[in-house]
Amino acid sequence: PGEIRVAKAQSLVEYCRRHNQLPDLDARLRELHPAVAWPDVGVLAVELAEIQQTAVALTNTVKDETLRAAVLAPLQQREAELQNQLTIIIGTDSQIPSKHFPPHWESHYLQTVIAQCDRLDTTPLSAGETATDAPSISAVFTTLYLQNVSRAEDETIAEALSPRRNQEKLLEKQREQERHPITASEAIAALPRLVILGQPGGGKSTLVNYLAAQLAQQRLGTNDTSLPDWPAEKTPIPVRIVLRRFAEWLAAEKRSGTAGDVWDYLFYMLERWGCADSCDGLRHTLIESGGIV
């Protein structure tokens, strides 16, 4: 553990599948690294084999191509999910004891996040207009609100953003004075996943950078950190991935865009930032405790 990258794990899983050796792989992993609390790879391998057998049987018996495709689709989806699950289990070693991680890996990572995310980009300014010491994003950030959405005092963020709310807009107009705007920060804090849409230059990237830097400071215990509309007890470890750079990396590396590629890109990014020693600790924390990406 620690030496197996996700891409190598994916190749290993595919090789073992082709040669019917996935059950043997489970035993071999436990033999090589008995201290790691491996999940039951054998059980996943059995389910994967059963799906393959069912798919072969259906292919041989269902002659109508449209019907066959419809029947096979959920099986193929589950097969892909299982293979990805096996790859992540083997390639990420999520159960490595924390004592194996370098000391102070988290503070090193968080300080790097702050350095990367809290800088205000002044490149649009000409050389003569650019200040010697550019201000931080935290110093100039202003609150962003969601457009055309509000909520009542007793209404949760999730309820306010629910599609059914669109059917009640006429009734809500009668109570507009009783409703409150929703900040982007509190929406992100309240929901497990969210897509923020906006016009170019509307502040989407700035919002992401601001939240990443502020959460990193909160997790470090910085006294002057102020993050309005965010629960004080929630301090997830932040991970910022710029999608256009991720897409460029996928193309350059000739990757297909699997879950394993996200991990590999994250490690690549950390190495470029000079905190490769934080890779294993960050991976372990994200898998075991979660975070905000």
pLDDT score at 238: 92
Asked if 166 and 88 sit in the same domain, the reply is no
Task: Share the mean pLDDT of the chain.
Answer: 76
pLDDT tens digits, one per residue of 226-248? 677 777 778 889 999 998 899 99
Lowest mean pLDDT among 2-16, 119-133, 169-183: 119-133
pLDDT score at 32: 67
Find the domain containing 84 and state its range: 6-96
DSSP annotation of 140: H
Q: Single out the residue in 128, 155, 186 at which a domain terminates.
A: 186
Computed over its alpha carbons, how large is the radius of gyration of the chain? Answer: 24
CB 216 within 8 A of CB 114: yes
pLDDT tens digits, one per residue of 80-107? 777 776 676 666 554 444 446 777 888 8
Specify which of 61-70, 131-140, 233-242, 257-266 reaches the highest per-range mean pLDDT.
233-242
pLDDT score at 53: 83
**168 found inside a domain:** yes
**244 found inside a domain:** no
Which residues 6+ apart lie within 8 Å of 89 measured at CB?
Answer: 38, 39, 41, 44
Amino acid 17 reads: R
Q: Single out the residue in 33, 64, 96 at which a domain terminates.
A: 96
Amino acid 151 reads: R
pLDDT score at 33: 66
pTM beyond 0.75, yes or no: no
**273 found inside a domain:** no
Asked if 14 and 74 sit in the same domain, the reply is yes
Amino acid 84 reads: N
Does 38 have pLDDT greater than 60? yes
pLDDT tens digits, one per residue of 257-284? 777 888 889 999 998 888 888 888 898 8
The SS3 assignment for 181 reads: strand
In the structure, what pLDDT confidence band is assigned to residue 35 with cuts at 50, 70 and 90? Answer: low
Amino acid 194 reads: L
**216 found inside a domain:** no
Does 113 have pLDDT greater than 70? yes
**107 found inside a domain:** no
Cα angle value 235/38/90 (rounded, 5°): 85
Amino acid 169 reads: K
Asked if 161 and 89 sit in the same domain, the reply is no
**70 found inside a domain:** yes
**105 found inside a domain:** no
Q: Single out the residue in 186, 214, 247 at which a domain terminates.
A: 186
DSSP assignments along 72-84, one per residue: HHHHHHHHHHHHH
pLDDT, mean of residues 143-161: 80
Element (H, E) at 6: helix 6-18
Element (H, E) at 251: helix 243-253
Domain count, the chain: 2
pLDDT tens digits, one per residue of 159-184? 777 766 555 554 555 455 577 888 88
